Amino acid sequence: MPITLPDEITAIALADDYPALQIETADCSATLALNGAHLTHWQPSHTDRPVIYLSPTAILQQGKAIRGGVPLCWPWFNAHPTDPDSHPSHGVARIERWDLVSATVEDGSAIIELELKASPGIEAHVPFPFQLKALFNLGQTCSIVLETTNLAKENIALGGALHSYFSLSHIDNATVTGLQHTPYLDTAARPEKSAVQTERELRFQAETDRIYYGSDLPARIHDAEWKRSIVVEKAGSLTSVVWNPWIEKAASLGDLPDADYQRFLCIEAANARHDTRILAPGSTHRLETRFIVENLS
């Protein structure tokens, strides 16, 4: 890594040929892998447990997505919109190695910029020229911005998600608020079905895979056991995805211990389905999320 790192940021390897940055500031500890520009750990100093869940059996290999942390899904969400058999689920950004552009520490927060440059491997899946940056501000709060600039001469269609995995004491202790009265697409149902959330608090008793649409409002995870709540704010997004694989799906995932569906919940700032953005030549889209942890006495 060509740039000089401040004392609070150390270059480490999470596995062979798997570089990352270890961040230890007054306000937080965090780990950021260059593969996928993937935040695998964040814990602000005012909470005594990690906020981000990382699977203990995550595969740390170039070309593989990390189970847990905050995968950056880009430039499409979930299955490729027209040719899912030829392109990876959730796009290419999370399986490619990013370059470190800058890393500084200001007032206890680490400010880090990474960039994904085009390559033949990427161009096989992404048919347009682009500039893609990931901007991290890691301190008492955590903010992540995925910034895409369309370098093509024509419009492009852009989807994606900041696919955040939040750590829980147990899924039975977790509720989510902020989604009441919001319409959603239940993609776990066969066939998929549309509904509107009526209850104020969302609880989890089965596989949950929902795309909430039409809202840019924050969601809040309440953890009764750990007496904390996590506010998930977002910008540049009108779809929020809520996912927990539950028993069967968790058992089918080779990089997740069977019972670990109990230990996390995904709340994702997304541009999914009808929130896919059309970007004109030269224009930029910023998909943003921010986590705020509040201790409940």
Contacts with ligand TA6, residue ranges (CB under 6 A)? 65, 78, 89-90, 163, 209, 241, 243, 266, 268
Closer Cβ to ligand TA6, 89 or 149, answer by number? 89
Q: In the bound complex, what is the minimum distance in angstroms from residue 3's beta carbon to ligand TA6?
A: 30
d(CA 146, CA 74): 9
Q: By beta-carbon distance, which residue lies closest to ligand TA6? A: 243
Q: In the bound complex, what is the minimum distance in angstroms from residue 283's beta carbon to ligand TA6?
A: 26
Closer Cβ to ligand TA6, 20 or 272, answer by number? 272
Closer Cβ to ligand TA6, 36 or 139, answer by number? 36
Catalytic one of 41, 163, 233, 285 = 163
**What is the per-residue burial (b if ≥16 Cβ within 10 Å, else e) of 18-49?**
bbbbbbebebbbbbbbbbbbbbbbbbbeebee
Q: Does the annotation count 125 as an active-site position? A: no
Closer Cβ to ligand TA6, 233 or 268, answer by number? 268
Q: Does the annotation count 181 as an active-site position? A: no
Q: Both tokens of residue 261?
A: 């569906």
Phi, psi of 35 (to 5 degrees): -65, 115
Q: In the bound complex, what is the minimum distance in angstroms from residue 255's beta carbon to ligand TA6?
A: 8
How far is residue 102 from each of residues 73, 85, 195, measured CA to CA in Å? 22, 36, 44
What is the side-by-side strand order in the sheet with 38-44?
9-15, 18-24, 28-33, 38-44
Catalytic one of 90, 113, 268, 285 = 268
Q: In the bound complex, what is the minimum distance in angstroms from residue 152's beta carbon to ligand TA6?
A: 26
d(CA 268, CA 77): 11
d(CA 239, CA 183): 10
What does the longest C-alpha to C-alpha distance in the chain come to?
A: 55
Catalytic residues: 163, 268
